[in-house]
Amino acid sequence: MIAAGKYDPYDFANRRHIGPSPEEMAEMLRVVGVESLDQLIDETVAEEIRQKTPLDFGRALSERGALDKMRETADKNRVLTSLIGQGYHGTIMPPAIQRNILENPAWYTAYTPYQPEISQGRLEALLNFQTLVSDLTGLDIANASLLDEATAAAEAMAMAHRVTQSKANAFFVDQDCLPQTIAVLKTRAEPLGLSIVVGDPFKDLDPAAVFGAIFQYPGVCGEFHDFSAPIAKLHAAKAIAVVAADPLALTLLKPPGEMDADIAIGSMQRFGMPMGYGGPHAAYIATRDAYKRSLPGRLVGVSVDARGNRAYRLALQTREQHIRRESATSNICTAQVLPAVIASMYAVFHGPKGLKAIAERVHRKAARLAEGLASLGFKIAPDAYFDTVAVEVGPYQGLIMKNAVDYGVNLRKVGHDRIGITVDERTRPTTLEAVWRAFGGYDLVYSDEHPEYRLPDSLLRQSGYLTHPIFHMNRAESEMTRYMRRLADRDLALDRAMIPLGSCTMKLNATAEMLPITWPEFAELHPFTPEDQALGYRELIEDLSAKLCAITGYDAMSMQPNSGAQGEYAGLLTIRAYHKSRGESHRDVCLIPSSAHGTNPASARLCGMKVVVVATDARGNIDLDDFRAKAEANGVNLATSMITYPSTHGVFEETVREICDITHANGGQVYLDGANMNAMVGLARPGDLGADVGHLNLHKTFCIPHGGGGPGMGPIGVKAHLIPFLPDHPETGGGERTVSAAPYGSPSILPISWSYCLMMAGAGLTQATRVAILSANYIAKRLEGAYDVLYAGKRGRVAHECIVDTRPLAERAGITVDDIAKRLIDCGFHPPTMSWPVPGTLMIEPTESETKAELDRFCDAMLGIREEARAIEDGRMDRTNNPLKNAPHTVEDLVGEWDRPYSREAACYPAGAFRVDKYWPPVNRVDNVYGDRNLVCSCPPTNTYLKAAE
Amino acid sequence: MLKYTEEHEWLDLDGDVATVGITKHAAELLGDVVFVQLPEIGAKFAKGDGAAVVESVKAASDVYAPLDGDVVEVNKAVVNDPALVNADPEGQGWFFKLRLDDIKAMDGLMDDDAYQALVESSA
């Protein structure tokens, strides 16, 4: 694939991205027992599955070449000052947060905090986020973020439907809600059989006719109201009240909780996260205590560790799709951890007084702007506003909008005769003067005099917020920097060690790929910026889409979905619309193998589909007879089959074409979950195998970092016949199938995937896949004898991941998969995926990015653990007081009295652990049961140590 | 009269009222129970309806109405202290009492020997 012998120091694919050197690969091939990488790939991926034409994207770019290309593309975007508003605002990310969090691999390369002992830092930051949200909204409990404001509104609607005791089937939507929110609500309501009523909450709301309602606070054109009265009416009819609130406004205004709202949602974008042409940003959801079990998404809670010391963890996981599957509260899996951490740090950085001061400054700018426009004779609405006004301009709308652009400002069109203006933290005096000039006020000059406040006394906030000491720390940058560093040091991310999580593809997130995301030309565009100002983004999205189509064999991509689960939802919605267009809307059955990821059935349910589970055989493959029988039994009602390829068991099933054929023969469409695409790029294409639609996880295969649990991107690809049914957006002339708030999802992180494709080119991408497969087979081979590797293909090879069976250790030594995972932390590793897809096993995915030395360190650790278990089996080690049961070991263990039947050295320096660079977990094993029995989801009092109940 | 269901629930009949809970085997499979949700008193269920919810850290399960009937009493103690379900699943850890529409329907359920055989065959 790659020309041998020639050394190119600028070769990104081989010298940066792919871990094992050519010499190391030769040794790995020898251990695996093959002559060449070609031979291994031939034995792993059958000829009939393979693509016939190699991937070819021309010459690979060097890092410098790719950065030049990014610069050239960025320069095609024009950064004007956005006063568009509509849910997206200019904001200032404090430089200390930019450098220490957003640009710090200790934060952005971490995984979702499912293993709490190595995630205490970001769990604390997320707990700060939850405290921030619940304080600002005046509600009891908030989760650790959702994907964007529009989907948060949809989650709130679904949650309202779950908890309401009203029998009504309609959901009322305030006409002042953001247009993209209304579009997503309509999209999400329809397949669930719910109807949407849009209107004025004070005139059109019939509480008896709805199970819930959502109000925007302040509204899209700046108006705000006290919703206490309509909320009381809703409650009298047993309906649920949702308020979509701007968190900055809530520092000045009466919070939704004090209006007796049941749920609040919104976007935390303006807390320091740039607009990024649409994302990523953290949305929030908060509710009252009584409804906490119906909250969707991830929730951080406080618990204790084995010593009774405080420790954080993800709480109430039984609500989520990986346990509840089609009965889950939502299909949501990815959150927006990195943006949520940034929002929480922004609040720590400014504190309550600072946030309030920012809000007041923003309000003063709005008031000055309005006073100036009024002095020019324009009619301004509303009388009371926070940061947004609408100006009546009659027939001059087009002219003024154009003038504004000439002065470097984008405004918002409202109807045919009004213009909306929203100011923010970044708005400067010169910006206000530019707006006045656009309206003809050439002589108006900015004055520092305080304008009259336009916030009504009755709605001013009286209650305090952010009273916890964490929001009152000394904000000297020295202290802030150390706080961020301390939290980062508690966590184990890719910058310290391999994260061999099966199905998660924790590969290199190269620095060169990351650099452009903070460039103003990518970061500071509003998602509804006029197209002619975003030509760079257009080129990026078009070229990346073309490359992803070439990789997958699909004909078009939609970048709108913000996560894999959103991609599934968008894909199923596409299929649904296709069937409907053919007069076959009765097709509503979705076949899903029992081994599927939990998001699959959860997404199918959200699309109003009936899930029929197909059996898998002893080898982990789809049971073809069962599949055929169920496809035929459902015949005319078959909508789709959802398959994962290679399978969730890590095998290239050779029956995949037959499964697609059976689906098609019965009139169904095939959805292919692209979670395992890292095993396919350059070797096989879903589109060639028979898939009609499928998503890609750009945060897996295409190098977007996991951010400690988000952001992600889950664009979908479709075959030509499905193109007319792809997601659309109200800003681009649609709104029937809108799955995200922004038309292109989270564009500011797309330069990462694009740079990756440009620097790897076709041959490099293909080689990455081949080496990912080699690394997995190398681990499987090295662990042979100590552990059984389950589910190999016909010729005994695994794909890009392998499942090792640890159940014999449970039977013989009483050592559970948890014990092994926690012991791996002592060895300095993030544990592999536990008990999925097979209970009691570990699924290991090394990716192509790990060097042989790191793979060996991991294998040594696993083999060392096997020996420790053997000592227990043989009776040489106690069954309960041993290094596996007591793992992970902390410094607290060492400084206390040592009364264990093994040495301190054995405890802390097991095979694989570094001696000098040892990772010390900050807590002992976290007590999950205590945390769920004693739920606390906001910052606990400082300096108190909880004692375990037992 | 003590009977068992294939859903790993037990029923203890007294007059026409059956006390319902989950078996020791079910409690062991679930692990440490952290949450129990009980039905409203007066709720009417048909056999197989989801009547209660029991959750551990890693699993969530419905507790089904084992037979047709209406709920006459619920065990608030397991809501306040879910650990009771693990400590004494077939005693203090009961869930609810169901007034059966037809006590003869009890005959269709498993006795102790049949249930133990079921547990052993699935082990």
Q: In this structure, which amino acid lies at residue A69? A: K
Which pLDDT band holds residue A839 (cuts at 50, 70, 90)?
A: confident
Closest-approach residue (CA) in chain B for A950 = B83
Write down the pLDDT at residue A942. 61
Which pLDDT band holds residue A57 (cuts at 50, 70, 90)?
A: very high
Tell me the residues of chain A between 196 and 255 that have a Cβ less than 8 Å away from chain B. Answer: none
Both tokens of A764, joined, read 């490099």
Both tokens of A672, joined, read 């292919």
Q: What is the pLDDT of residues B59-105, one digit of tens each?
A: 888 899 999 999 999 999 999 999 999 999 999 999 999 999 999 99
**Which of chain A's residues have a Cβ under 8 Å away from the Cβ of B57?**
317-318, 928-929, 932
Q: Does residue A216 register a pLDDT over 60? A: yes
Closest-approach residue (CA) in chain A for B80 = A933
Q: Does B89 contact A at CB distance below 8 Å? A: no
A539, A289 contact by CB (below 8 A): no
Q: Does residue A398 register a pLDDT over 60? A: yes
Average predicted confidence (pLDDT) for chain A: 95
- Map tokens 């009659």 to a residue: A394
H or E element at residue A310: strand A310-314
**Which of chain A's residues have a Cβ under 8 Å away from the Cβ of B83?**
933
A289, A172 contact by CB (below 8 A): no
Q: What is the pLDDT of residues A781-795, one digit of tens each?
A: 999 999 999 888 888
Burial A268-285 (b: 16+ CB within 10 A, else e): bbbbbbbbbbbbbbbbbb
Rounded (10°) angle between helices A63-74 and A535-552? 130
Which pLDDT band holds residue A950 (cuts at 50, 70, 90)?
A: very low
* 3-class DSSP state of A537: helix
Q: Does B82 contact A at CB distance below 8 Å? A: yes
Q: pTM value?
A: 0.96
CA gap A42, A21 in Å, rounded: 21
Cis, peptide link before residue A395, omega less than 30° from 0: no
Average pLDDT estimate for A350-372: 98
Write down the pLDDT at residue A605. 92
Q: Does residue A946 register a pLDDT over 50? A: no
Write down the pLDDT at residue A945. 41
CA distance A316 to chain B (A): 7
Count of A–B CB contacts within 8 Å? 28
B75, B94 contact by CB (below 8 A): yes
Closest-approach residue (CA) in chain A for B60 = A318
Q: In this structure, which amino acid lies at residue A416? A: H
Contacts of B28 (CB under 8 A, 6+ apart): none
ipTM of the complex: 0.85
A562, A279 contact by CB (below 8 A): yes
Burial of residue A407 (number of CB atoms within 10 Å: 0-12, 13-18, 19+): middle
Backbone dihedral region of A178: left (phi > 0), alpha (psi from -120 to 50 degrees) or beta? beta
Q: Do A929 and B34 touch (CB under 8 A)?
A: yes
Both tokens of A359, joined, read 């809000």
Q: In this structure, which amino acid lies at residue A855? A: L
**Which of chain B's residues have a Cβ under 8 Å away from the Cβ of A293?**
35, 37
Which pLDDT band holds residue A8 (cuts at 50, 70, 90)?
A: confident
Q: In this structure, which amino acid lies at residue A353? A: K
A255, A138 contact by CB (below 8 A): yes
Q: Does B60 contact A at CB distance below 8 Å? A: yes
Q: Does A318 contact B at CB distance below 8 Å? A: yes
Write down the pLDDT at residue A327. 74
Both tokens of B104, joined, read 């003869």
Of B34, B59, B60, the CB nearest to A933: B34
Pairing, β A589-593 against β A638-644:
parallel
Burial of residue A396 (number of CB atoms within 10 Å: 0-12, 13-18, 19+): middle
Rounded (10°) angle between helices A477-490 and A337-375? 140
Q: Does residue A949 register a pLDDT over 50? A: no
Closest-approach residue (CA) in chain B for A315 = B57
Q: Do B55 and A933 touch (CB under 8 A)?
A: no
Q: In this structure, which amino acid lies at residue A349? A: F
CA gap A654, A932 in Å, rounded: 43
Q: Does residue A504 register a pLDDT over 60? A: yes
- What's the DSSP call for residue A305? B
The residue that leads in pLDDT, A581 or A4, is: A581
CA gap A59, A747 in Å, rounded: 25
Handedness of CA A68, A73, A76, A78 (dihedral sign): negative
Which pLDDT band holds residue B123 (cuts at 50, 70, 90)?
A: low
Q: Do B57 and A293 touch (CB under 8 A)?
A: no
Write down the pLDDT at residue A288. 97
DSSP symbols for A662-690? HHHHTT-EEEEEETTGGGTTTT--HHHHT
Burial of residue A903 (number of CB atoms within 10 Å: 0-12, 13-18, 19+): exposed
Of A293, A323, A933, the CB nearest to B58: A323
Closest-approach residue (CA) in chain A for B37 = A293
Write down the pLDDT at residue A394. 96
CA distance B80 to chain A (A): 9
CA distance A615 to chain B (A): 18
**Which of chain B's residues have a Cβ under 8 Å away from the Cβ of A928?**
57
Of A324, A928, A932, the CB nearest to B35: A932
Q: What percent of chain A has pLDDT over 90?
A: 91
Average pLDDT estimate for A72-80: 98
CA gap A950, A939 in Å, rounded: 23
Write down the pLDDT at residue A329. 75
Q: Does residue A941 register a pLDDT over 70? A: yes
* 3-class DSSP state of B26: helix
Q: Do A933 and B82 touch (CB under 8 A)?
A: yes
In degrees, to the nearest 5, what angle opens at C-alpha A764 toward C-alphas A758 and A770? 145
CA gap A884, A815 in Å, rounded: 7
* 3-class DSSP state of B47: coil
Q: In this structure, which amino acid lies at residue A618? A: A
Q: Does B32 contact A at CB distance below 8 Å? A: yes
- What's the DSSP call for residue A745? S
Q: Does A934 contact B at CB distance below 8 Å? A: no
Write down the pLDDT at residue A598. 87
Burial of residue A893 (number of CB atoms within 10 Å: 0-12, 13-18, 19+): middle
Burial A7-32 (b: 16+ CB within 10 A, else e): eeeebbbbebbbbbeeebbeebbeeb
Residues in chain B: 123
Both tokens of A776, joined, read 């997995």
Closest-approach residue (CA) in chain A for B83 = A933
B8, B86 contact by CB (below 8 A): no
Closest to A489 in 3D by CA, of A831, A107, A115, A99: A107
The residue that leads in pLDDT, B58 or A476, is: A476
* 3-class DSSP state of A148: coil
CA gap A610, A558 in Å, rounded: 25
- Pick the residue of B34, B85, B86 with the most A CBs within 10 A to test the interface with A by mutation: B34
* 3-class DSSP state of B97: strand
**Which of chain A's residues have a Cβ under 8 Å away from the Cβ of B59?**
318, 323
CA gap A701, A801 in Å, rounded: 13
Rounded (10°) angle between helices A656-665 and A624-634? 10
Both tokens of A644, joined, read 């994962």
DSSP symbols for A856-879? HHHHHHHHHHHHHHHHHHTTSS-S
A812, A806 contact by CB (below 8 A): no
Write down the pLDDT at residue A930. 92
Q: What is the pLDDT of residues A279-338, one digit of tens each?
A: 999 999 999 999 999 999 999 999 999 999 999 999 988 887 777 777 777 888 889 999
CA gap A70, A519 in Å, rounded: 10
Residue A850 Cα to chain centre, angstroms: 24
Q: Do B57 and A317 touch (CB under 8 A)?
A: yes
Task: Give, in order, the Cα–Cα distances in Å from A291 to each of A141, A163, A929, B39.
Answer: 9, 7, 20, 16
Tell me the residues of chain A between 894 and 933 that have a Cβ less than 8 Å away from chain B. Answer: 928-929, 932-933
CA gap A594, A571 in Å, rounded: 20
Q: In this structure, which amino acid lies at residue A28? A: M
Average pLDDT estimate for A213-217: 98
- Pick the residue of A929, A934, A935, A936 with the most B CBs within 10 A to test the interface with B by mutation: A929
In degrees, to the nearest 5, what angle opens at C-alpha A417 toward C-alphas A411 and A419? 20
- Map tokens 């203890």 to a residue: B12
Closest to A93 in 3D by CA, of A281, A342, A284, A338: A342
Write down the pLDDT at residue A921. 97
Task: Give, in order, the Cα–Cα distances in Å from A467 to each of A142, A303, A310, B79.
Answer: 16, 22, 20, 32
Burial of residue A518 (number of CB atoms within 10 Å: 0-12, 13-18, 19+): middle
Q: Which residues pair with A196 in a beta bridge?
A: A171
CA distance A315 to chain B (A): 8
Of B32, B60, B82, the CB nearest to A318: B60
Q: Does residue A4 register a pLDDT over 90? A: no
Write down the pLDDT at residue A325. 75
Q: Does residue A438 register a pLDDT over 90? A: yes
H or E element at residue A614: strand A610-614
Q: What percent of chain A has pLDDT over 70?
A: 99
Contacts of A711 (CB under 8 A, 6+ apart): A279, A280, A334, A336, A338, A339, A562, A699, A704, A746, A749
A557, A694 contact by CB (below 8 A): no
Write down the pLDDT at residue A5. 55
Alpha helices in A784-849 (DSSP H): 807-813, 817-826
Q: What is the pLDDT of residues A345-356, one digit of tens each?
A: 999 999 999 999
Both tokens of A295, joined, read 């909250």
Q: Does A324 contact B at CB distance below 8 Å? A: yes
Tally Cβ neighbours within 10 Å of residue A573.
Answer: 27
Q: Which of A593-607, A632-646, A679-693 has the lowest mean pLDDT?
A: A593-607
Cis, peptide link before residue A191, omega less than 30° from 0: no
